[in-house]
Copies of this chain bind each other. A is one copy, B any other.
Amino acid sequence: MTFGEQPAYLRVAGDLRKKIVDGSLPPRTRLPSQARIREEYGVSDTVALEARKVLMAEGLVEGRSGSGTYVRERPVPRRIARSGYRPTGGATPFRQEQSDARARGTWESSSEQADASRSVAERLGIQPGDRVMCTKYVFREAGEAMMLSTSWEPLALTGRTPVMLPEEGPLGGMGVVERMRAIDVVVDNVTEEVGARPGLAEELVVLGGVPGHVVLVVQRTYYASGRPVETADVVIPADRYRVAYHLPVK
């Protein structure tokens, strides 16, 4: 039966995938049922099932019990600009960055003091157990949650200053750079490490996804003269957003 070729279920999955990406099976249409796949490709029940599972794992289709397997909508991901850099010239192909989402929506937040965990301590260059201010955000755009963020700031730095609580006082909600400048801390560097993983159930409840959806995780750390002053985990649903960096070369 098999001799050196691809496994049958990958061959079937590949053919169906092609039909999906080239548009002959557009979103919201139903895939052939398991029985029909079995007939059309001359394979067994298990192979048809396994092929569907591959496509489901790839997020291209979703199965609805008793109804069928349907091609999922794939919204064009919107862009979230993460870099402050702007080209100097006038006419550039980057104009759309201005109009793109730059957290222009609404947000909620709540802060509480906590002990630094081992990983947070490492990122902030402090000792585990040192006190930090931990703030959780939910960013919404047009009412829809688009981003979760958890930030940590060492209380050794901001404690007993007017900017200790990120969202209170005259500089509430102004951003890390502005707040730190108010206490004479000049933020001059930022690192962002972008990773991805399946979303946790709790995250996806808020972000409006289904279990198994992929999220982007941005670990951001602000530095002032080489010293970390804030670090944050930003969680973004990957099916709706991308993070964009725009950098000079050289």
Q: Which residues of A does B touch, CB under 8 Å?
A: 10, 13-14, 17, 53-54, 57-59, 77, 79, 82-85, 87, 89, 91-94, 125, 177, 187-202, 211-212, 214-216, 219, 222-223, 226, 228, 238-239, 241-250
Contact = CB atoms under 8 A, between A and B. Distances in A.
A245 B245 contact: yes
Contact of A198 (B77, B79, B214, B248): B214
A188 B248 contact: yes
Given A58-B200, A194-B216, A247 B189 contact: yes
A226 B193 contact: no
A201 B10 contact: yes
A212 B212 CA distance: 9
Contacts of A247: 83-85, 189-192, 245, 247
The 3 closest A-B pairs by CB, nearest first: A196-B196, A57-B212, A196-B238
Contact of A57 (B79, B198, B241): B198
A220 B74 CA distance: 21
Contacts of A85: 247
A93 B248 CA distance: 22
Nearest to A221: B93
A219 to B, nearest CB: 8
Given A189-B87, A243-B194, A58 B211 contact: yes
A84 B187 CA distance: 20
Contacts of A249: 84, 177, 187-190, 222
Nearest to A9: B201
